[in-house]
Structure 1
């Protein structure tokens, strides 16, 4: 029992011996929403001990993040980030040195392929009777095969860049999925495996929530990459590094294209199952996505009514960045155009790259809206949002202003 193991650990706390496995088994058995008060109190006591403990910072950081994540509901801190356990995944952040932008693609490739491989490995384990995790509302075999197909499509570009695709030779979707999952698993470090295991904390015991969590984590990974690349563009352009800026924009457009099959994966989720576990996610909504809002606000300054709406009030850190004058790509593009520092050819190439990225992001929004309508109808969203009516209203918000204005004046 996790309570017995935690009581034992509290008598002699050590970063090396925290009973992660026992805690995870209980959370998986009943769902985060239904964990007992006794276990919650013991976890809170464990967290209180951390201030007196010493040890390797990575281990301490992991335990702090894990305890904060499992205690988000009783702490009344439950939101989109804690639901997805994003602190445990350590995605590229808004305050990372911009010099790391060229390396973000490789980092996000690893995270995305690991997340998606884990989702598919869960489906394989269920199909083969190797796990009893999340037993409710199991989908039919036909939907699972679609998950294999679309999931591998998501993984293939990253696997190719990581040189892990040479053994993907099977033609049967299940066999191909086994090969892809095996390649990813063999390449993972112990630290990566732990992060993956600790970041799966469903609120209920419905089968499809596993898929739902992993797909949303993968989308968050994509948007953290886009934000990193956009910061790279904003830094490169004033230096006259046009090729690098265009490279970042093209890579961002490609990342959105590569993430598109995630919508096909998500579309295999059973509507009834989604609506069942969704009732226990109140307080967590995609409107709270820091990474998405950061991408939007780095492209151009949001309109005043949007800054003062629930959209940005739900992401106060990003809203503050906007209010204190965060530099946007729109502004930098106008600056380099008006100062004459770039040739007309470079302006055209840059405008084309910006338009390509904007088109990809707009298509992403529209696909998101269509899928939300399928899953929710016109129902209210979680986290006290307006659900699909909100998505409908914002799906065609201009990504940039400067590029569109330039196109009209030609």
Structure 2
């Protein structure tokens, strides 16, 4: 595993950014693990980043990738760089508005790509000893269980995309058929995204699955944040009849992630602790997409707004400080307007469904964290860890005496 291709590019970087040896660099990072990449690679990649201005047609994606590759040596390693989130087109309320069906289709395609990449990796590790991340491989029974959950997690999105995979009779056969079918339909940009967003810190097999599952959660919460922002805008424009239905759909999308928890539960505790020691600084408490969703439901209490949860996402904190509208604000307006009484039953149903889905997600997250870490374990980067998850598990999603039932809130 040498750096000759990178040295050749450095000898003449003016050739073009697309000639950069991306595959050689990614192979090296997957071979060593980001935490243990030899200093030689770090020095050469720093030189490459410094010389990017010499490239006639600068490639923004390459600049982003180099920053992610060098995050540990730069002292910038965090949740976003660990998961390479800047290289995944996660839906965002600040992006140019797009029709809801297009955003859902984009999320479904990315969701499917990430999960089928995980499936392909697990199958490769079964079939050959040359697969990356060779340490602490799970046994066949655990891999089979993992593949079954991965296919289940991908199925709702596949159905919406009209991508039907006939049952082949066994979890392994189903997984092979799905991986082969999706691989055929992959374009160059999809392949590049999958390659550049798998930068594990270790050589431990299970880290591949861990990264892909967290990335799929980020996709879902990104889309939910867009949906919540759109719901607020629609309600402000007087489109109240659709509010309950859109919240019900958001709840359904979140419930679809349930198999991801079953998939993540196949993580071997010993394997998790082996690579977790190298993830200091990267914690899910830094998830921007989740904080957007939470803050769009209601304005966080001051102690939470100024806690590590929001200090790690300063742009979300700034949105809140500038007066970001929330679902709770809409509820307050609805409760004061008797003309909306006719729409309240559907709205109440949507609120109840979405609240239940979020609380179920939080409780499942807490249970899995306790299984892996125990009840009093600090999180990475000395974040609050499971005690924090316990406190936030049942935090009200909306405000009011009975915020999931608008007909009761003014009583």
Question: Normalising TM by the smaller chain, what interval?
Answer: over 0.9
Residues in 2 aligned to 1:36 and 1:115: alpha-carbon distance in whole angstroms: 28
Contact 1:233 1:246 in 2 (8 A): no
User: What is the RMSD of the two structures over their aligned residues, measured on CA atoms?
Assistant: 1.6
Gaps of at least 5 residues in structure 2 are: none
Output aligned runs, 1:87-106, within 5 Å: 87-106=86-105
Contact 2:200 2:207 in 1 (8 A): yes
Which TM-score applies when normalising by structure 2? 0.95
- Residue aligned with 1:383, SS: helix
Runs of 4+ that moved beyond 6 A: none
Output aligned runs, 1:2-401, within 5 Å: 2-13=2-13, 14-55=16-57, 60-129=59-128, 131-165=130-164, 167-340=165-338, 343-377=340-374, 378-401=376-399
Residues in 2 aligned to 1:242 and 1:183: alpha-carbon distance in whole angstroms: 42
Contact 2:335 2:410 in 1 (8 A): no
**Residue 336 of structure 1: CA displacement?**
3.7
| Greater displacement, 288-297 / 396-405 | 396-405
Residues in 1 aligned to 2:90 and 2:129: alpha-carbon distance in whole angstroms: 30
Residues in 2 aligned to 1:244 and 1:405: alpha-carbon distance in whole angstroms: 17
Contact 1:98 1:232 in 2 (8 A): no
**Residue 242 of structure 1: CA displacement?**
2.9
Gaps of at least 5 residues in structure 1 are: none
Tell me how many residue pairs correspond in the alignment: 405
Q: Indicate how the Cα distance of structure 1 residues 335 and 146 shifts in structure 2: closer, same or farther if over 3 A, else same.
A: same
Q: Deviations over 1:209-264 (max 9, x none)?
A: 00000000011111001101101101111222234433431221111111111010
Residues in 2 aligned to 1:94 and 1:283: alpha-carbon distance in whole angstroms: 26
**Residue 404 of structure 1: CA displacement?**
4.4
- Residue aligned with 1:227, SS: helix
**Residue 405 of structure 1: CA displacement?**
7.3
Contact 1:232 1:245 in 2 (8 A): no
